[in-house]
Amino acid sequence: MREFRYRRAADVADALALLEAEPEARPLGGGTNLVDLMKTGIERPALLVDLRDLPLDRITPTADGGLRVGATVTNSDLAAHPQVRLHFPALAQAVLAGASGQLRNMATVGGNLLQRTRCGYFTGAAAPCNKRLPGSGCAALTGEHHNHAVLGASPHCVAVHPSDMAVALAAFDAVVTYETPGGPGELPLAEFYLPVGSTPQLETALPPGALITGVVLPPAPVAAVSRYRKVRERASYAFAIGSLAAALDVRDGIVREVRLAFGAVASRPWRARQAERALTGQHADAVAFAAAADAELAAARPLPHNGYKLPLLRDLVVGVLTELAEEAAR
């Protein structure tokens, strides 16, 4: 591990000043991804700016009936919060489906959004990897890629974003807020993660030196009937091989509104807008649910070893929406 300096920021202005003065500085949230990657030399910051004392650890209602979640709120506190569980149950479920109790107690909302991919060639440091070493190639294309992307990938990188939380945030149109030395800014989650293109090393649209201050969830009545389901290779404590955040509003058997986002299929949480469009106004039944999934998956380009994800996602959509339709009817 590279030697590094450590400072605990007193407030947001202090954190921004520290980050601005040292281009090789990194904010430290819970450290559960950053420290891990520093041990293997994938991350080599010269300075860690610890965010623990920042007043960003609260969840507060917004004037319009949404929720503002501070960047240093722990994953545990997010999932346990009564307003989150009541108004956005799929978000609480998504967070609870991630990592372990210990890790969720440490991990923060900001760090969760910015966690790096678990592609073994990225974390392994020996193989070619365009994300780790731009221009070196992508070992996953011809190697181990059973858990890589089927949507939105490029020949330069086929890695998936590992966050469960971000999938639910994508379904609920969350907005990421940040501060820079030049002033505040915000990015809808749909624009937060950059398309892969030929620059997989550039993952987000955050300006350099920006500090995430939180995430705003706009009011979304449809989210009251929502669910997150995660498929993994063991029952618990593993990353997703496919997941779905879904919300459904059905009246008289007709889909009034639907939200769908896939996890573990792309370099970012994948909002399934084609499927949403296909389903809105249709009868809420398994045939329509499957057709909606197919509308989204028509654009999928599976690799030799991850084609299983397509039927998996289709089954997730049909299964979860069927349950939500029953719940909505109650």
Partner 1 sequence: MTASTSGVITLHVNGEPHTLTVDHRTTLLDALRERLGLTGTKKGCDQGQCGACTVLLDGRRAVACLQLAVAAEDRAITTIEGVADGGRLHPVQQAFIELDGYQCGYCTPGQICSALGVLDEHAAGWPSAVTADVRPEAGPPALTDDEIRERMSGNLCRCGAYTAIVRAVAQAAKVVSA
Ligand X SMILES: Cc1cc2nc3c(=O)[nH]c(=O)nc-3n(C[C@H](O)[C@H](O)[C@H](O)COP(=O)(O)OP(=O)(O)OC[C@H]3O[C@@H](n4cnc5c(N)ncnc54)[C@H](O)[C@@H]3O)c2cc1C
| Site residues (vs partner 1, CB under 8 A) | 1, 3-6, 8, 28, 30-32, 35-36, 38-39, 48, 50, 52, 76, 79-80, 82, 85-86, 89, 92-93, 96-97, 99-103, 105-106, 230, 235-237
DSSP codes joined into one string, 208-265: TT-EEEEEEE---GGGGSEEEEEE-SSSSSS--SEEEEEEEEEETTEEEEEEEEEESS
Would you count residue 175 as binding ligand X (CB under 6 A)?
no
At 68 the three-state DSSP class reads strand
Q: Taking CB within 5 to 8 Å according to partner kind, which of partner 1, ligand SF4, ligand X, none is near residue 239?
A: ligand X
The answer to whether 138 contacts ligand SF4 (rule: CB under 6 A) is yes
Beta strands 47-50 and 183-188 are unpaired
Collapsing DSSP states into helix, strand and coil, what is residue 283?
Answer: strand
Q: Which of 9, 16, 18, 30 binds ligand X (CB under 6 A)?
A: 30
Which entry of ligand X, partner 1, ligand SF4, none binds 50, CB below 5 to 8 A by partner kind? Answer: partner 1
Min. distance of Cβ 300 from partner 1 in angstroms? 27
Closest CB 83 distance from partner 1, rounded Å: 9
Q: To the nearest whole angstrom, how small is the minimum distance from the Cβ of residue 91 to ligand X?
A: 12
Give the residues across from 68 on adjacent strands: 60, 216
Contact residue for ligand X among 112, 117, 177, 306 (CB under 6 A) = 112
Residue 108 binding target from partner 1, ligand SF4, ligand X, none, CB below 5 to 8 Å by type:
ligand X
User: What's the CA gap between 295 and 298, in Å, rounded?
Assistant: 6
Is the Cβ–Cβ distance between 31 and 106 less than 8 Å? yes
Alpha carbons 210 and 182: distance in angstroms, whole number = 10
Is the separation of the CB atoms in 167 and 123 below 8 Å? no
Residue 137 Cβ vs ligand X, minimum distance, rounded to whole Å: 24
3-state secondary structure of 307: coil
Is residue 111 within the footprint of ligand X (CB under 6 A)?
Answer: yes
Please tell me the count of residues contacting ligand X according to CB under 6 A: 31
Selected binder of ligand X within 16, 38, 59, 99 (CB under 6 A) = 99
First to last CA, the chain: 56
When asked if residue 110 is in the footprint of ligand SF4 (CB under 6 A), the reply is no
Q: Which of residues 143-202 bind ligand SF4 (CB under 6 A)?
A: 148, 157-159, 200
Dist CA 12 CA 223 (whole Å) = 31
Q: What is the contact mask toward ligand X in residues 51 to 90, using x (rule: CB under 6 A)?
A: x-------------------x---x---------------
The one-letter code for the residue type at 112 is N
**DSSP H or E stretch at residue 17:** helix 12-21
Q: Which of 122, 193, 239, 262 binds ligand SF4 (CB under 6 A)?
A: 122
Contact call for residue 139 and ligand SF4 (CB under 6 A)? yes
Euclidean distance between CA atoms 76 and 324, whole angstroms? 25
Q: Which of 42, 106, 194, 224 binds ligand X (CB under 6 A)?
A: 106
Query: Which of 18, 32, 248, 267 lies at the binding interface for ligand X (CB under 6 A)?
Result: 32
Residue 150 CB, shortest distance to ligand SF4, in Å, is: 13
Residues 6+ apart with CB under 8 A from 322: 286, 289
Element spanning 183, H or E: strand 183-188
Binding site for ligand X (CB under 6 A): 26-34, 36, 51, 71, 75, 98-99, 103, 106-108, 110-112, 114-115, 162-165, 211-212, 239
